Chain A
Amino acid sequence: IAGITQAPTSQILAAGRRMTLRCTQDMRHNAMYWYRQDLGLGLRLIHYSNTAGTTGKGEVPDGYSVSRANTDDFPLTLASAVPSQTSVYFCASSEEWGSYNEQFFGPGTRLTVL
């Protein structure tokens, strides 16, 4: 059982380029989340999806978009990357959306925008 996988593991990207971070889970969880983790700050929620076909904005959504075409996949797209988007990105999922459900995290993608 893989749980949650993310790809790529790391990426160096030129500013202005488009980039999609991939996230796939095999637990049939309804809810999925994207976070960024920056030094000295906690994980910050970028976007979430409480079920396939629906998405919502988190704390820091600007510059990012997501889609949820099916239960398993939740890609995060940077339409035109900027250096401030240099971060480690974590995808997570939970059985259902809501405060009572623990989240399961992927291994992370380290993104550097130059």
Chain B
Amino acid sequence: ILNVEQSPQSLHVQEGDSTNFTCSFPSSNFYALHWYRWETAKSPEALFVMTLNGDEKKKGRISATLNTKEGYSYLYIKGSQPEDSATYLCASWYSSASKIIFGSGTRLSIRP
């Protein structure tokens, strides 16, 4: 059974602090990892699509790294702002199943 795990489940961070969280996935038959940002009452929006071991992507204050050999990705947020409050989802594609598997998300709350 393919399982994508995210930790922590939830996180409370002071405004201005930096934070990071983890997505772990089975590395066998791995194709790509997606990160999505999901604000309350909205739809998930794509942040990054990462495919290669050692990939690093950045969008503003948010960046992500990928380790396909050990099966994990980190999402970093530098200098957290209230608008960063959201649930961050990762999802992994597998060739064996020809499908995408989502983690259950990390819910991030920024305290002003």
Task: Tell me whether B100 and A40 are in contact (CB under 8 A).
Answer: no
Task: Tell me whether A59 and B101 are in contact (CB under 8 A).
Answer: yes
User: In which size bucket is the chain A interface?
Assistant: 20 to 34
Task: Tell me whether A104 and B46 are in contact (CB under 8 A).
Answer: yes
Could you mark each residue 45-57 of chain B with 1 if its beta carbon is under 8 Å from any beta carbon of chain A, else 0? 1100101000000
B3 → A minimal CB distance (Å): 10
Task: Tell me whether A45 and B99 are in contact (CB under 8 A).
Answer: yes
Please count how many residues in chain B sit with their CB below 8 Å of the partner chain's CB atoms. 23
Could you mark each residue 12-33 of chain A with 1 if its beta carbon is under 8 Å from any beta carbon of chain B, else 0? 0000000000000000000001
Task: Tell me whether B100 and A102 are in contact (CB under 8 A).
Answer: no
Q: Is A34 an interface residue (CB 8 A)?
A: no
Given the complex of chains A and B, what is the CA–CA distance between A61 and B89 in angstroms? Answer: 22
Chain B contact residues: helix, strand, loop or mixed: strand
Which chain A residues lie closer than 8 Å to B101 at the CB level?
42, 45, 59
A27 → B minimal CB distance (Å): 13
Q: Which of A70-78, A79-87, A105-113 contacts B (4 or more CB under 8 A)?
A: A105-113
Q: Is B103 an interface residue (CB 8 A)?
A: yes
Instruction: Check A42/B4 contact, CB under 8 A, given A58-B99, A90-B43, A102-B34.
Output: yes
Instruction: Check A108/B32 contact, CB under 8 A, given A42-B89, A42-B102, A102-B49.
Output: no
Of the A-B pairs whose beta carbons lie under 8 Å apart in the complex, a sample of 11, sorted by A's number, is: A4-B43, A42-B91, A42-B105, A43-B91, A45-B101, A59-B99, A98-B93, A102-B34, A103-B36, A103-B100, A105-B43
